Amino acid sequence: MLPFRNSAFDTVVFIHSLEHLPDYYKGLEEAWRVLRERGVLFIQAPTPSNYYATSLPDHLHVLHHETLSRLVSRIGFRVVEARGEGSYLLVIAVKQA
C-alpha cells in the first residue's frame, strides 16, 4: 500500500513503470485509491511489438492497450483514450465516483 491517504492526488502517472511492478493490478487499484474523484490516470508503456517489452529482464509484464483499458475500467476508471501505436501504448482514464 502506498503511504498516502485516500483521494490525495489529482493525477497518477505510470511512465514506463507499470510493466516493472510484480502485481500491476494492485498498483492500478492503489492509483484508484489515492486519486480524487475525476482524477486522471496516465499510463505509457512499451507495446508488445516493442523489442524492449520482451527482451529486458526487469519488464515483468507485456501490456496491451485494449487489455489494460478493460482492466482499468473494471477497477472503476472511465477510459478517455487508449491506443497502442508504434512502440508505445497510451491509456488515459478518469476516476469515477
Domain spans of the chain, in order of start: 9-95
Query: What is the pairing mode between strands 88-95 and 77-85?
Result: antiparallel
pLDDT of residue 19: 97
pLDDT of residue 1: 82
- What confidence tens digit (pLDDT) does each residue in 44-94 have? 999 999 999 999 999 999 999 999 999 999 999 999 999 998 999 999 999
Q: Report yes or no on whether pTM surpasses 0.85.
A: yes
pLDDT at 97 over 80: no
CATH T-level assignment (fold) for domain 9-95: Rossmann fold (3.40.50)
Under the banding of pLDDT at 50, 70 and 90, the label for residue 5 is very high
pLDDT at 30 over 80: yes
Residue closest to 24 by CA, chosen among 85, 66, 68:
68
C-alpha to C-alpha distance for 87 and 72, rounded to whole angstroms: 21
